[in-house]
Structure 1
Amino acid sequence: MEKQPSSRLGPLEKLRSFKMEKQKSFRLPGSTSFKEKKYKESPGKRGDMMLHLAARAGNLPHVQMLLAEAGEEGAKDLVSKQNLDGETALYIAAEKGHVEVVREILMVSDLQSASTKANSTFDAFHIAAKQGHLNVLKELLNLFPALAITTNSVNATALDTAATQGHVDIVNLLLETDASLARIARNNGKTTLHSAARMGHVEVVKALLNKDPSIGLRTDKKGQTALHMAVKGQNTGMVLELLRPDVSVINIGDNKGNRPLHVATRKANINMVRTLLSVEGIEVNAVNKAGETALAISEKSGSEEISAVLRVAGAVIEQQQPSPHPPNPAKHLKQTVSDIKHDVQSQLKHTRQTEMRVQKIKKRLEKLHIGGLNNAINSNTVVAVLIATVAFAAIFTVPGQFVEQPTPGYTLGQAFVAQNAAFIVFLLFDSLALFISLAVVVVQTSLIVVEQRAKKRMVFVMNKMMWLACLFISVSFISLTYVVVGKDDWWLAWCTMAIGAVIMLTTLGSMCYCIIMHRIEEKSLRNVRRSSTSQSRSTMSISMPSDSELLNSEYKKIYAL
C-alpha cells in the first residue's frame, strides 16, 4: 500500500525535471527569465520602474545593484526611462533630495538624459532648485554646468524658480555660476527680479541687485518694473531695497502711464504710499494716460486716509497739461455715443439681473403657494373624515335608545324620540353633514390636479362644502339639545343655539369678508397691471414688478380660500 504512491510520483518527478532541463536548454546565454525581467521593469501605479522606486525611496544599494545588473549600455538606457508623469529616476532623486542616489545615477548619465523634462516641463535641475536642495544642484553643476541655462515652458530658468521660492543660497550659487542668468526674462517679459519682488523675498532681491544693479530698470511686456511689482505687496523694505541702486525708477510709468505711486494708491496700501512719498524726487502729481493723478485715483476709490496723506504731500486731483491738438468734434461725438451705448448696455444688464431675481422669488413663492394648497387639501380630507365619523356615530347614539322589545305603537329598532320634531331636524342635518363629508373625501382621494389654478378652484369648492358640513353638524347638535334638556329646560337649548349661532356666523362672516376683499384687491391689481403694461408699451420702457408687489398681490402671506 505504501509502494503505490511512490510508484506514481516517480514518473511525475521525472517529467518535471525533464521540463526544467528543456527550459534551461532553450535559454540563451546572458538572457534573463520572465520573472527576473518582470521584477526589474514592472511598472507601478505611476508607471515607475524598479529604478524609479529605488530612487524615490533613496535606497542607494538597490540603485547600485540595478545599475550594475543592467551593464554599461543597459544602465544608460535605464536612467533615461520615464514614468507616466515623464519623470526619470534622476528627476525623482533630485526632487526628493537624495544626494548619494543623484551622484550614483549621474555616473552613468549624459547631458541629454540629465536634462530630460517631465510633464511639468521641469528637468531634474529645475525641480531641485524649486525644492531647495543645494547639494543636489552642486552635484548636477559639477558634472553638467550647462543645466543652469535650461528653461521650462514659460522660459523660466532654475534661477527664476529658486528666486520665486526664496532660496537665497541657491540664488547665490547660480549667480556665481553665471551672472547673466538674472537677465533672462520669461515669456511675459518678467525677469527674476520681478518674481522675487512680487513674492517679497528681500534677501533674494539684494543678491540680484548686488550682482547686476541695472536689472532694476528692466520692464516686462506691460512696461512694469520690479518696483511696480513690489508696491502691490506689503513689504516696504522691498521698495527701499529696489530704490537703492537708482532712485529714478520711482518715476518710470508702465504702458498705461501708471507709476508705482498710482499702483500703490489703487491697491489702497497706505503704508506703501507713505514709503513712496518719503522718497526724494518723487513726482506726486504725475498723470497716467487716463489723465489721473494718484489723488484722483484715491478719491475715486473712496480712500480718505490715503487722500489725506497725498494732500499733505502736495497732491492735486487734476494736473493741467497743454493739449497738443485742438478738440475734435467728431471724436467728441463718437465718445458721447460710446458713453450712451455703455449706459444703455449697463441698464439692460441691470434689468435682466432684476428680472432673473424676480423670477427666482416668484418661483419660490409659487412653491410655497403650492405647498399651502396641498396642506389645505390634506386638512380638508382629515376634517371631512372626522365629520363623517361623528355624523355616522351620532345617529346610533340618540338619547332614549331604541326599541328592543315589542311595544305598542313602535317597531323594533325604532328610536323612542323618532316622533319628536327636534329629532327629525337632527336626522336631516346630520345626514347632510355625513354625505357632504363623504363626497369631499371621495373627490379629494380620487382626483389628482396638476395645474395650479385648477387645484386652487377645487380647493375653493371643497372648502365651501366643508363650511356647509360644519354648519349642518352644528345645527344637528343644537336640535338634539332640545331633546336632551326636555321641555322644562328649553332655555338651556336656546342658550346653546345662541352661542353656536354667534360663533359660527361670526367665523363664516369673517371668512366671507376676507374672500371678498381678496377678490377686490386681485381685480384692482389686475387693472393696475393692464394700465402699466399699456403705458410701458407706449413709452418703450421696461417695467418690472417689485418684490413687495409680488408679496402683496397673489402671493400674500395669508388669505382665505
Structure 2
Amino acid sequence: RGCEAGDLFEQNQSGETALYVAAECGRADLVKELIKYCDIVLAGIKARNGYDAFHIAAKQGNLEVLKILMEANVDLSMTFDSYNTTALHTAASQGHAEVVNFLLEKGSNVAVIAKSNGKTALHSAARNGHVVIVKALLSKEPGITTRTDKKGQTALHMAVKGHNIEVVDELIKSDPCLINMVDNKGNTALHIGTRKGRIQIVEKLLNQNGVHKLVINKSGETAIDIAEKHKLSDIAGILKEHGVQCAKFIKTQPTNSAKELKQTVSDIKNGVHHQFEHTRQTRKRMQGIAQRINKIHVDSLNNAINSTTVVAVLIATIAFAAIFSVPGQYADSPKDISPGVSPGQARIASKLPFLIFIVFDAIALFISLAVVVVQTSIVVIHRKAKKQMMAVINKLMWLACVLISVAFLALSYIVVGDEWWLANLVSGIGTVIMVSTLGTLCYWVIVNRIEASKLHSIRRSSMNSGSRSFSMSYVSDTEILNNEHKKLYAV
C-alpha cells in the first residue's frame, strides 16, 4: 500500500488528514478504502477549522461519504466543532436536505443540541429559509419550536429575518404561541420583521389569529414605532391599517409577576434538562473515543515489546559473533607466536582497546539475553504494568546499544592499524549520532513524564470536584482525552 497506518494520522498545515480531504472532496471510494486501514478514531481528528471528516462531509453535502463513516461508527453524528456545532446543524445551515434527513434517522436527539450561542439547527435552517429542512426538523422534534438562543429568540424570530414566508407559515402552524413570544429585549416576531423591512412577512403575522399587535419592547417601542424610526413608510402604513398604535398612545398594563416567574422557572428547567442530556451524550461519546484510543495505546505497546525482543536478539547475535570476527589478530603459524602468548590467543588481547571491546561487548550480550528471557517468560496484562516494564526494558536496550557502539569504536582502533585518523573520524561520527539520538529520546521521556503528572493531577481534581459541577467534569474529560490522544510519546 506504500504507507504505514500511522501515516494516515498525519495532518497538513491546515490540520487536515487524508481522510478529511477525501471526505471534503466527496471521494467515497477513497474514504471507504482509508477506513479499512486505520482505527475509526481517525475520523474524529479535527482540522484547525474545528471540523472533522464527518463534519466536513456534512457541510459539503456528501451523503455517500457520511453513510460510509456512519456505518463505521454511528457515534460520529454527535461530533461537534469548537462552537458546539453538530454536523446536523451545519448541514441544515447549508440547505442539504438529504443529509439532514439521513442524520435525523440515525441520531436519536441530535436535533435538540444547541450551539454555544444557544441556536439549534432549526434556528439556522429558519434563518436561511430552508423550508424542507424546517419541516423535517419539526417532524422529528416538534418540541424544539419554543427553544430560544442566548438572545431569547425562537426559530420564528430567525425566520422573519429572512425572506421565505413558507418557513414562517410552517413554524406558526407548528406552534401558534410562537407569534407572541418575546426575546430578551422584549421583541416579538412582528418587531423583528418590521425592523428588517419584510413587508410580506409582516402582513402574514398581522393576519394571524391571536397576534398581539400592541406589544411594547424594553426600548418602549411597538412595531409601528420601529417602522417610523427606520423610515419604513410602506410597513408603517400596513401596521396602521391593522390598528397598531405608537407606544405613547398605549396605556401600559401592570405585568403579571407570578406568570413571568413561572415562565422563567419553566425556561430554566427546560434549559437545564437539555444541557444535562447533552452533557450525558457528550460524556458517553468521549468515553467511547477514550476506549478506542486506549486500545491503540495497548496495541502500540505490544508492537513495541515485540520489536524490542527482535532487536535484543539481533544485538545478542552481533555481540556473540563479534568476539570471533576480529580480523588478522591471530598468529598464522606456531613460529609467529609472540613470547608469553598462547596458541589461539589474539595478539592484541593485552591492549587497552581490545580489553574495552571484550568487556563492553560481553555486557551488551548478557543485557540483550536478559531482555529476551524476560520478554519470553513474563506475560503482562495491565496496561500500566506493561508500560512500566517497557520503560525499564527500553533503558536496558539503550544501554546495550551504547555498549555495543563503544565496543565497535574500540575495535576500530585495532583494525585500522596505524591509520588512527580514520578511527578518530568513525568515533566522532558515532558519538554525534548516538548522543543526539539518546538526547532526543531523553527529552521525549521527560516531556511525557511531565504530561503524565499533569494528567494525574487533572484526574484527581476531577474525582474530588466532579460531584459539584457538570461543567467541571466535562472540562476534565476533555483535557484527559486531549492528553491521551497523542501521535507519539516515549517511555
| TM-score of the superposed pair, with normalisation by structure 2 | 0.51
Counterparts of 1:166 and 1:160 in 2: how far apart (Å)?
10
Structure 2 equivalent of residue 203 of structure 1: 132
Counterparts of 2:30 and 2:174 in 1: how far apart (Å)?
43
Question: Does residue 151 in structure 1 map to residue 80 in structure 2?
Answer: yes
Mapping of 1:160-239 within 5 angstroms? 160-239=89-168
Letter in 2 for 1:145: V
Q: 1:209: Cα distance to partner?
A: 0.3
Residue 322 to residue 281, structure 1, CA distance change in 2 (3 Å): closer
SS at the partner of 1:154?
A: coil
Structure 1 equivalent of residue 191 of structure 2: 262
SS at the partner of 2:109?
A: helix
SS at the partner of 1:204?
A: helix
Aligned counterpart in structure 1 of residue 251 of structure 2, from 320, 325, 349: 320
Q: 1:302: Cα distance to partner?
A: 2.2
Higher RCO (C-alpha 8 Å, min separation 6): 2
Counterparts of 2:126 and 2:253 in 1: how far apart (Å)?
36
Counterparts of 1:314 and 1:132 in 2: how far apart (Å)?
46
Question: Does residue 90 in structure 1 map to residue 19 in structure 2?
Answer: yes
Q: 1:249: Cα distance to partner?
A: 0.5
- The answer as to whether partners of 1:171 and 1:204 remain within 8 angstroms in 2 is yes
Structure 2 equivalent of residue 251 of structure 1: 180
Counterparts of 1:323 and 1:148 in 2: how far apart (Å)?
48
Structure 1 equivalent of residue 211 of structure 2: 282
Aligned counterpart in structure 1 of residue 234 of structure 2, from 305, 317, 342: 305
Structure 1 equivalent of residue 362 of structure 2: none
Counterparts of 1:261 and 1:253 in 2: how far apart (Å)?
10
Counterparts of 1:106 and 1:127 in 2: how far apart (Å)?
16
Aligned counterpart in structure 1 of residue 35 of structure 2, from 93, 106, 129: 106
Aligned counterpart in structure 2 of residue 125 of structure 1, from 54, 63, 77: 54
- The answer as to whether partners of 1:217 and 1:249 remain within 8 angstroms in 2 is yes
1:282-303 CA-to-partner distances (Å, cap 9, x unmatched) read 0011111122111121222222
Structure 2 equivalent of residue 241 of structure 1: 170
Letter in 1 for 2:73: F
1:507-550 CA-to-partner distances (Å, cap 9, x unmatched) read xxxxxxxxxxxxxxxxxxxxxxxxxxxxxxxxxxxxxxxxxxxx
Hey, which bits of structure 1, 4+ residues long, moved more than 6 A?
none
Structure 1 spans left out of the alignment, 5+ residues: 1-64, 325-561
What CA RMSD, in Å, does the superposition of the two structures yield over aligned residues? 1.2
SS at the partner of 2:174?
A: coil
Q: 1:322: Cα distance to partner?
A: 4.0
Mapping of 1:54-69 within 5 angstroms? 65-66=1-2
Letter in 2 for 1:85: S
Letter in 1 for 2:251: Q
Counterparts of 1:155 and 1:292 in 2: how far apart (Å)?
35
Counterparts of 2:254 and 2:92 in 1: how far apart (Å)?
45
Q: 1:169: Cα distance to partner?
A: 0.4
Counterparts of 1:304 and 1:211 in 2: how far apart (Å)?
41
1:16-63 CA-to-partner distances (Å, cap 9, x unmatched) read xxxxxxxxxxxxxxxxxxxxxxxxxxxxxxxxxxxxxxxxxxxxxxxx
- The answer as to whether partners of 1:179 and 1:211 remain within 8 angstroms in 2 is no
1:155-211 CA-to-partner distances (Å, cap 9, x unmatched) read 000000100110000000100001311100001000000111111111110100010
Counterparts of 1:202 and 1:116 in 2: how far apart (Å)?
33
SS at the partner of 1:172?
A: helix
| Alignment length (residue pairs) | 253
Structure 2 spans left out of the alignment, 5+ residues: 256-491
Question: Does residue 79 in structure 1 map to residue 8 in structure 2?
Answer: yes
Structure 1 equivalent of residue 416 of structure 2: none
SS at the partner of 1:207?
A: helix
- The answer as to whether partners of 1:175 and 1:182 remain within 8 angstroms in 2 is yes
Counterparts of 1:313 and 1:202 in 2: how far apart (Å)?
28
1:333-385 CA-to-partner distances (Å, cap 9, x unmatched) read xxxxxxxxxxxxxxxxxxxxxxxxxxxxxxxxxxxxxxxxxxxxxxxxxxxxx
Identity, % of aligned positions: 50
Counterparts of 2:85 and 2:52 in 1: how far apart (Å)?
12
Structure 2 equivalent of residue 349 of structure 1: none
Question: Does residue 136 in structure 1 map to residue 65 in structure 2?
Answer: yes
Letter in 2 for 1:161: T
Letter in 1 for 2:252: Q
Counterparts of 1:152 and 1:176 in 2: how far apart (Å)?
21
SS at the partner of 1:264?
A: helix
SS at the partner of 2:83?
A: coil
Counterparts of 1:110 and 1:276 in 2: how far apart (Å)?
53
Q: 1:232: Cα distance to partner?
A: 0.7
Letter in 1 for 2:166: G
Counterparts of 2:169 and 2:108 in 1: how far apart (Å)?
23
Letter in 2 for 1:155: N
Residue 142 to residue 290, structure 1, CA distance change in 2 (3 Å): same
Q: 1:266: Cα distance to partner?
A: 1.1
- The answer as to whether partners of 1:222 and 1:255 remain within 8 angstroms in 2 is yes
The 10-residue stretch of structure 1 (175-184 or 218-227) with the greater mean CA deviation from structure 2 = 175-184
Q: 1:271: Cα distance to partner?
A: 1.2
SS at the partner of 1:244?
A: helix
Counterparts of 1:93 and 1:288 in 2: how far apart (Å)?
50
1:196-243 CA-to-partner distances (Å, cap 9, x unmatched) read 111111111010001011111100000000110110111111100111
Counterparts of 1:238 and 1:322 in 2: how far apart (Å)?
33
Counterparts of 1:129 and 1:315 in 2: how far apart (Å)?
44
